Each structure stands twice: as structure tokens, then as C-alpha cells.
Amino acid sequence: MIWFTPSYQAIVDDKRKRRAEALSVASAFSTDAHGHYVRATASEITQNIRKGEWTATQVVEAFIAKAGQAQEATNCVTEVLFAQAMRRAAELDKEFADTGALRGPLHGVPVSIKDQYEIEGVDATIGFTPWANSPATKNAKLVEHLLEAGAIPIVKTNVPQTMFAFECSNPLWGTTTNPYNDKYTCGGSSGGEGALLALDGSVIGLGSDIGGSLRIPAAYCGIYSLKPGHGRLTRQGVKGCVPGFEGINSVVGPMARSVDDLEVACRVTFGHQGTYCDTAPLPYREINLPSKLKFGYYTSDGYVKASPACKRAVLETVEALRKEGHECVEVALPSASDAFNIFVSLTSSDGFKTMLSHLGSDPRDPSLYMTSASNLPWFVRSFAAWVIETFFGDTMYANGIRSARVKTVTEYWHFTAKRDEFIRKFYDEVWIKYGLDGIIAPSQALPQLRHGGCMTLSSLAGATILYNVVDSPVGCIPVTRVDPDVDQLTDEWVHGPGLGTKIIENQLYKGKNPFYDPVAMKGMPVGIQVVGKKWEEEKVLKMMKIVDNALGEKRGFGPGAAANIKA
């Protein structure tokens, strides 16, 4: 028998070897030596540097040590920038010693960057071996803005293959795990960022979102994120798998350990149009909100009913807001399954041919099961949908199968028009009808997902996809933790309103090994979405602060929270 090594394996071995060598320069993390640095927000870091009490070098050394520890625990890092970071820290320290002035509002602040962002001299593979060993020749514009403000990139972080899944695994870099429990995924596609930030390995991260990729990792890992609307931040220098696709616009945004750090990142990056004037010339705006706001909320979108833990997170938030004098009203949404089917119809228009063309000899990750289903012969797909609808009584799931197919240009235009129609309907039936300032919503039906769940449960992303279709700015906030004493299924939950697709909910809540298991999930974070109208990113950040303050500081999230994680 002739043994051989797959063509991609040599690249994998080489890249991982070089990563290990670059990681080896990190010192071991010491709570006594490094703890006070990694517990600081961006503003606290710059204030201490300005006062001469800390140096950028000391701060970066601490976060490098913590990032190395996070990588060992979760495999969240792709490209390692430790040597470059230490050189930049030394340059900033010299500049401050010579001038007494900080470079900017992020002077000396360690940041992390999702792998798809270009950084000069570094690969941006997004897990494709054919894209390896082809370093970028310049920085993505958002990276440039962070550098101009004094930030120090220390690592790039892992993503799922093609970035079209909410797990975090690819053949080049492997699987990233949840910092709270390695049996669960950290989420995706900005999953490496979620894991690293949860473990205090960075202060601010850059991610992206086309169906929940900033929000799902934040919810799964207990951190904060902001998905801006399309056109608020430039994507120049941010690589993707389907250039030219605009049916659902991918957006970029910040992730962090606090709302304050999200705000700092937005102040630095909003309003820059980029080389090609691809974004609105809209700098960060100072806004004042009334003392009493009106929030809408829901605990089921009618497509997949939120688990008791995720329902509790919404209701605890509502209770906390009401105690602060805000009005909260339960709202009914237009069909979330319609939004999901519009998303699937548009993204599958070429049968995912362009997206998958980059794999080369790389094996396809199991989380991309839906991409295979889109190329089934029409009669197989039609028969499967008919069986599911006729014998299982699940029209929602059947319609999802019907949506995942190759389209003609005329059909693509049709679904683009359906998207625009749905946006108008959402504004009429939610924002205008109820007169809301914001919406409080579950981040997903599950608090977390076991590895491999994406293969059959991609529909769970419908909870976040809704706001990509509508193109709303959305923040994610950690609220509570799974508690098996109060988060079990009850008769009221099982027989109450809000149930959706039977096939998905049966996998989540029924059988011998349901995906929702509050005992196995004990202590894992549960997040919510805070939603605003188009162009209201600053208002969303303000509402996030209101929610965060109403919930209180005793929840155990934020800078330094990694000390409480016992994975």
C-alpha cells in the first residue's frame, strides 16, 4: 500500500509549526504580575499610561501572556503578532517619553483582529490552505484607524471554514472551543474573538457579521459586541468568500468586554469613508436620550422557541428596565421564518459555488451541510420538502429546504425585492405600530451549541439573521448564566405559545440527548440582543449602557471575568 499525505496537510503542518514558534515567546501568565493590566478597560489603560504609572510595553506583555493562555485553552489564535506588538509598544513608549503626548485614545491598548482582516506582512487565510503563504501588502482600513489611535494588534483569531457557520472550525487552524466548556463551540464566525476576549486575551476585537457572526460568539462566550448597519464602517481590506454579493450585506464591527470599550472603538472608527468613499461620512454622534424609554421585547420569534434560559434572560432584562422606570411591551413580529427563507434564498443563489470554490483540496467542514443540500436535484428537494410538510406537519422547515437552491437572475431579483418588502413590513408592524426606542430579543434559542450542532441546526441562526435582513444595528449583552434549578423545561413552556419548527425544536428539547441541557450548560453565559433602527448605532450603544447598568455589576461579566471561568 502506498501511503501519502494530502496536499493540504503540508501547509497545515507548516503554518501550525510557525504559530507554535511565535507563541513560545509569551511569558507564563501571572495574576500578581499581569492581573491588574488585563482587568483594565481601554480608557483605564490609556489613563494609567498618561499618568506614567504604566507603560505600553508592560500592558502588552500582560495581554500577550493572557492570549497565550487563552490559545492553550481554546485554540482561538491563527496568526501571532507578539514580536511586532512588542516593537510597537516600545516605539509608543519612546514617543510618549519624548513628547508627553499619547498617540490617540487607544494608545498602548492591545487589540485582536478576526483572521479575514488584512494586516501588512501577515496572511489572511480564513482557514483556506490555498490562501496560505500570501501575506497582505497593506492593512485593512479599520486596522489602520486603530493603529492611528495607538492600538497594538497582538493576534489574529480563528473562524469557521467559509465563515458561513456559527461554529468555529477549519482544516488549517482546527477547532476553537468555548472557554466555559470545551464540549461546546465558541460560536462563529467571529468565534476566535469571542473566546479570546472572554479569557481577557485582548481589550477590543474586530469581527464581522452577515447572519449573527458578531452576536452569536458574544452570546456564547459572555462578552459584548455591536453589529452596525450596512454603510457605517468600511470593509476595505476585509476578505470574504463571495465578493460582489449584496443580497445580504456583510458588516464589520467591534467586540469587547464592556460597552465602554465598544464605544471607544466606534468613536475611533465611525465616519472614515475609506479610499473609495464606501461608507457614510457620519462620525460618532453625541446623543441624549429621554429618561424614560420604550422597549419592545419577545421570547419567541415564532420560528424556533427560545429555551427557558434564553427566555429568562429577556424577562430579567425587562424586569430590570421596568424597575428603572422604562416602559416595556411585548411585541409580535412579522414572520421570522420568512426572513430566514429570504436569507437562504439569496445566499444560495449560485448554489454556494463561489463560496466553496476556495476550498481547493481542503476537506469540507461538516458545519457546511446546508451548502451541499442546495445542490440536490430539484425532485429530491421537492420530495423531501413534501414529506416533511405532509407527514411531520412542519411547513416552516419544508420551506427552508425549498429556499436552498440555485436561482436564475430573475429569481434573485425577486428575492431581493422580497427582502425590501420585509424591511418595510417590519418597520410598519414593529417600530411604527408600537412606537419603540429599542427591542430586547433572545440572541438565539440556545445559550450555547455542542460541537457539530451546526450540521443540522443552522436554522438556529434565524434569531440573528432577522436583523441582517432588516439591516438594524444590534448590540449583544451578557445577562445571566444557565441555572439548572430554574431553567428546566416546564409544562407551561412545552404547551405554551411560541412554538415553531417541529424538526428543529425536537432536536433541541426532546429525545435522549437534546441539545438543550441546562445541567451540562450550568454556569455558561446567556445573552440578549438590543436592537435599534437603521443609522442608530449610537442610540443602541446608549441603550446597551442603560440595560447593562440596570442589570447590575454582580453578574460577573466584563474585564477580569476570566478569573471566574472554570472550564
Contact status, residue 564 vs residue 177, Cβ threshold 8 Å: no
- Output DSSP code: residue 136: B
The three cell numbers locating residue 442? 433572545
Contact status, residue 289 vs residue 542, Cβ threshold 8 Å: yes
Of the candidates 114, 311, 407, 539, the residue annotated as catalytic is 114
Contact status, residue 193 vs residue 112, Cβ threshold 8 Å: yes
Cα–Cα distances (Å) from 388 to 87, 163, 397, 560, in that order, read: 59, 29, 8, 48
| Residue 211 annotated as part of some ligand binding site | yes
| Residue 189 annotated as part of some ligand binding site | yes
The three cell numbers locating residue 253? 464591527
- What's the count of helices (H) and strands (E) in the chain, helices before strands? 22, 15
| Residue 455 annotated as part of some ligand binding site | no
Burial class (CB in 10 A: 0-12, 13-18, 19+), 286: exposed
Using CA atoms, how far apart are residues 187 and 253, in angstroms rounded to an integer? 16
Of the candidates 169, 189, 307, 348, the residue annotated as catalytic is 189
Residue 189 annotated in active site: yes
Q: Is 440 helix (H, G, I), strand (E, B) or coil?
A: strand
Residue 114 annotated in active site: yes
AA letter at 41: T
Contact status, residue 344 vs residue 400, Cβ threshold 8 Å: yes
- Output DSSP code: residue 247: S
Strand partners, 259: none
Of the candidates 112, 213, 250, 345, the residue annotated as catalytic is 213
| Residue 210 annotated as part of some ligand binding site | yes
Cα–Cα distances (Å) from 359 to 129, 161, 172, in that order, read: 8, 9, 11
| Residue 439 annotated as part of some ligand binding site | no
Report the relative pairing of strands 224-227 and 474-481 from DSSP bridges. Answer: antiparallel
Instruction: Give the DSSP letter string of 15-35.
Output: HHHHHHHHHTTSPPP-HHHHH
- Output DSSP code: residue 234: -
Using CA atoms, how far apart are residues 189 and 160, in angstroms rounded to an integer? 6
| Residue 169 annotated as part of some ligand binding site | no
Q: Which residues are catalytic?
A: 114, 189, 213
Binding site, annotated residues:
163, 189, 210-213
Binding site, annotated residues for substrate:
163, 189, 210-213
